[in-house]
Amino acid sequence: MREANYLATPEDGREILRILESSAAKGSMELLYTRRPDAYESYMREPGESRVFVTRSGGRVIGTCAELIREVYIGGEARRAAYLCGLKKDAALEGGMGYFATFMHGLQRDDIDYYYCSVVTDNEEAKKLFGRERRSISMKPMAEYRTYIFNPKVKIRAPKHSLTFRPAEEADVPALIGFLNREGSRKDLFPVVRSLEQFYNLNCRDFWLLLDGEEIVATAALWNQTPYKQYVVKRYRGLMRLARIANPLLSALRYIRLPKEDAPLDFPMLSFFLCRDDREEYYRVFLQEITKKICERYGIFVIGLPKEHCAAALLEESKNIHFDTVLYEITFPRSGQEYAKVDPHRLFPECGLL
């Protein structure tokens, strides 16, 4: 692959957006993940290094993908990982994704320690594509990941406590960054945090702290990314269509009020959600307190966790809507490159960066 022939430019932003919006993820709730108003600029706002690729036929863009290169923890060390996302062809064109292998060959670099991607479980075309054996590219599923959509009025059972819950302030930033890296280094694929400014549209005022005396024992941020990437419900099917009609009843039962079709969802992600030593009581207390704050502004919020994460069982106790993805490890066997080893049992990629 001659990379220069495939790297996108700012002028390709509108065409990339058209490709991303040419089809939605299938299922009872057809969900479109998009990057309005300019897809190219949206990718450039991701932390680290962003490379966006397109393929053309007759001068027209027919496929796209992006490689987002970030510093993450693997085995307690800071490593460079490349997250492959936005792999999509124009849904209006017949045929498969024959350009896929060409794109993939162009992603391999000696300065990257690990490659991965995620695929919605209902995306059968992508799952077949990724499951196909190739001599030069290996793609193996490493973990299941669940994204939860909650009504902030959800009831979270928490024990009595003497902990303090409050918003972060500028004076807390050094301790906050220290906590994120100390606890995050125990996870694989959690981002290395050098400063809060490396994450677009996020600052210390978006973080909340749970403290035992003066010591941080849990934190998370309410990160609203809707100015540059969005979820849009395109269509409801089956039982979800009936549920949309029964919205008032759903709200009374503390489920989310299902959004209108074709309208971008306005919500925060509960991001950088870490608790000291993964103690369940901290997760429960933090969730109980943060949902009270979310209620003041939003009707829904989102959390994403690997299914094996210790807090996943806690979230399953509460009424929610969710969708599942599979995280894949990508290697290039013929390159002779050495890759970092990720432990699927300690996996914790940041939901806001998937």
Q: Can you say how many angstroms the Cα of residue 171 is from the centroid of all Cα atoms in its chain?
A: 29
The CATH number of domain 3-147+228-239+323-353 is 3.40.630.30: yes
Which tens digit of pLDDT belongs to each residue from 164-192? Answer: 999 999 999 999 999 999 999 999 999 99
Question: Is 110 exposed, middle or buried (CB count within 10 Å of its CB: 0-12, 13-18, 19+)?
Answer: exposed
Which tens digit of pLDDT belongs to each residue from 251-281? Answer: 554 556 667 788 888 999 999 999 999 999 9
Least confident stretch, 63-77, 130-144, 285-299: 130-144
Query: Which amino acid, one-letter code, is at 170?
Result: E
Distance from C-alpha of 242 to C-alpha of 347, rounded to nearest angstrom: 36
Domain ranges of the chain: 3-147+228-239+323-353, 150-227+258-322
Alpha helices in 132-216 (DSSP H): 173-184
Same fold flag, 3-147+228-239+323-353 and 150-227+258-322: yes
Distance from C-alpha of 219 to C-alpha of 167, rounded to nearest angstrom: 10
Distance from C-alpha of 146 to C-alpha of 324, rounded to nearest angstrom: 5
Query: Which amino acid, one-letter code, is at 328?
Result: Y
Residue 2's pLDDT is: 46
Please tell me the pTM assigned to this model: 0.90
Query: Which amino acid, one-letter code, is at 266?
Result: D
The tokens describing 230, both together, are 């969005």
Distance from C-alpha of 120 to C-alpha of 155, rounded to nearest angstrom: 28
The tokens describing 277, both together, are 């030593």
Terminal-residue alpha carbon distance, the chain:
26
Which tens digit of pLDDT belongs to each residue from 280-305? Answer: 999 999 999 999 999 999 989 999 99
Classified as helix, coil or strand, 286 is helix
The tokens describing 2, both together, are 């001659």
Query: Which amino acid, one-letter code, is at 168?
Result: A
Least confident stretch, 11-15, 55-59, 195-199, 340-344: 55-59
Which tens digit of pLDDT belongs to each residue from 185-222? Answer: 999 999 999 999 999 999 999 999 999 999 999 999 99
Alpha helices in 122-170 (DSSP H): 124-131
Least confident stretch, 71-75, 167-171, 235-239, 286-290: 235-239
Taking alpha carbons only, the member of 209, 212, 234 closest to residue 220 is 209
Beta strands in the chain (DSSP E): 29-34, 49-57, 60-74, 77-89, 114-120, 138-150, 164-167, 207-212, 215-223, 230-236, 269-275, 301-306, 321-331
Residues 222, 352, 273, CA angle at the centre, nearest 5°?
A: 55
Sheet holding 301-306, edge to edge: 49-57, 60-74, 77-89, 114-120, 321-331, 138-150, 301-306, 269-275, 215-223, 207-212, 164-167
| Phi, then psi, of 114 in degrees rounded to 5 | -160, 140
Distance from C-alpha of 314 to C-alpha of 344, rounded to nearest angstrom: 19
Among 3.40.309.10, 3.40.50.300, 3.40.250.10, 3.40.630.30, name the CATH number for the domain at 150-227+258-322. Answer: 3.40.630.30
Distance from C-alpha of 323 to C-alpha of 31, rounded to nearest angstrom: 10
Residues with Cβ < 8 Å from 279, sequence gap 6 or more? 217
- What residues pair up with 166 in beta bridges, in sequence order? 209
